[in-house]
């Protein structure tokens, strides 16, 4: 049995909404999700648009909290963890690079400086991280917005890695990138798993990307888990009829 990094037990997420008549209602975004994410593996979260993939990620570093159920990280209920520590342990990479005006170095060292790491030490670490994400150290002095989007996305990753996370949440991290830059990010994800032992949870709507990097698949539809399976089994012999339709490109949101 593979060890779970994250466990979700009967997790339901609701949000206020309005129905067609304009009355305030409660929408169930995720419905009684019970699943786990294996430690040290890449899990791809798949499902049609609107199925709740991004919402699920938001629960894992407490950008939102569920209405009911329990989320457990390494045996601890998320609600019992200090939120800043949690967000350091569970880093997030978004669709678009999340850099602020300033140099690449300032961006990468921001988190460590806030934690009181000495500037020289933070700088040395930034030099290691920029190489780890496949960029040259002379980019450190450049304004972040002078880099290509693909480079900026790698700097965003380096910035997240500067917090020494155990888990990376990636929400369609390649969707703004050209194919080469996208391939670089995918390679980097596999590299981070093997070199640092990170657990990666990767939302994508591109099946080929999941085929390429995922060890495990979590397939959700209308806020419910349809299938959680090792990637090979999911792609070669999906068990649920909805998985079969999805793989055939025939399942709508």
Residue closer to Mg ion (CB basis): 43 or 54: 54
Only segment of 47-55, 75-83, 183-191, 231-239 that touches Mg ion (CB under 5 A): 47-55
Residue closer to ligand ADP (CB basis): 126 or 203: 203
Radius of gyration of the chain from Cα atoms?
Answer: 19
DSSP three-state, residue 129 = helix
* 51 near Mg ion (CB under 5 A): no
Only segment of 53-61, 107-115, 184-192, 206-214 that touches Mg ion (CB under 5 A): 53-61
| CA dist list (Å): 88 to 111, 121, 159, 176 | 9, 18, 11, 25
Report the candidate in 72, 51, 88, 251 with the shortest Cα–Cα distance to residue 164. Answer: 88
Q: Mask of contacts with ligand ADP, 149-188, x by CB under 6 A?
A: ----------------------------------------
Residue closer to ligand ADP (CB basis): 6 or 110: 6
Cα–Cα distance for residue pair 168/171, rounded to 1 Å: 10
H-type alpha helices, 90-230:
104-114, 119-132, 149-161, 179-196, 207-213
Select the residue interacting with Mg ion from 36, 43, 51, 54 (CB under 5 A).
54
The terminus-to-terminus CA distance of the chain in angstroms comes to 32
Residue closer to Mg ion (CB basis): 130 or 200: 200
Residue closer to ligand ADP (CB basis): 51 or 156: 51
Residue with tokens 């049609």: 48
Only segment of 48-56, 123-131, 174-182, 233-241 that touches ligand ADP (CB under 6 A): 48-56
Q: How many CB atoms lie within 10 A of CB 225?
A: 20
Binding partner of 50, given ligand ADP, Mg ion, none, CB within 5-8 angstroms per partner class: ligand ADP
* 54 near ligand ADP (CB under 6 A): yes
Residue closer to ligand ADP (CB basis): 47 or 165: 47
Binding partner of 13, given Mg ion, ligand ADP, none, CB within 5-8 angstroms per partner class: none
φ, ψ for residue 242, nearest 5 deg:
-70, -35
Distance of CA 75 to the CA centre of its chain: 20
Q: Does residue 32 contact residue 69 with C-beta atoms inside 8 Å?
A: yes
- Tell me which DSSP letter residue 24 carries: E
Only segment of 32-40, 42-50, 80-88, 107-115 that touches ligand ADP (CB under 6 A): 42-50
Report the candidate in 193, 132, 202 with the shortest Cα–Cα distance to residue 174. Answer: 202
Under the rule (CB under 6 A), what is the footprint of ligand ADP? 15, 17, 29, 47, 49-55
């Amino acid at each position: 049995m593979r060890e779970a990094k994250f466990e979700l037990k009967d997790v339901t997420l609701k949000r206020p909404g309005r129905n067609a008549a304009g009355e305030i209602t409660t929408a169930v975004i995720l419905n009684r999700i019970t699943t786990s994410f294996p430690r040290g593996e890449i899990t791809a979260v798949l499902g049609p648009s609107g199925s709740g993939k991004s919402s699920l990620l938001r629960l894992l570093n407490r950008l939102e909290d569920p209405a009911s159920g329990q989320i457990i990280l390494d045996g601890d209920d998320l609600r019992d963890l200090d939120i800043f520590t949690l967000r350091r342990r569970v880093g997030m990479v978004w669709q678009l690079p999340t850099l602020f005006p300033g140099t690449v170095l300032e961006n990468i060292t921001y988190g460590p400086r806030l934690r009181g790491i000495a500037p020289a030490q933070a700088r040395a670490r930034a030099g290691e991280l920029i190489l780890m994400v496949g960029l040259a150290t002379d980019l450190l002095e450049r304004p972040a917005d002078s880099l290509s989007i693909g480079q900026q996305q790698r700097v965003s990753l380096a910035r997240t890695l500067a917090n020494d996370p155990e888990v990376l949440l990636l929400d369609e991290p390649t969707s703004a990138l050209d194919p080469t830059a996208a391939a670089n990010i995918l390679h980097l994800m596999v590299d981070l798993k093997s070199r640092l032992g990170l657990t990666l949870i990767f939302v994508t709507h591109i099946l080929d990307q999941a085929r390429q990097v995922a060890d495990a698949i979590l397939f959700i539809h209308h806020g419910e888990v349809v299938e959680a399976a090792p990637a090979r089994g999911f792609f070669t012999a999906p068990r649920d009829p909805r998985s079969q339709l999805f793989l055939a490109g025939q399942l709508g949101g």
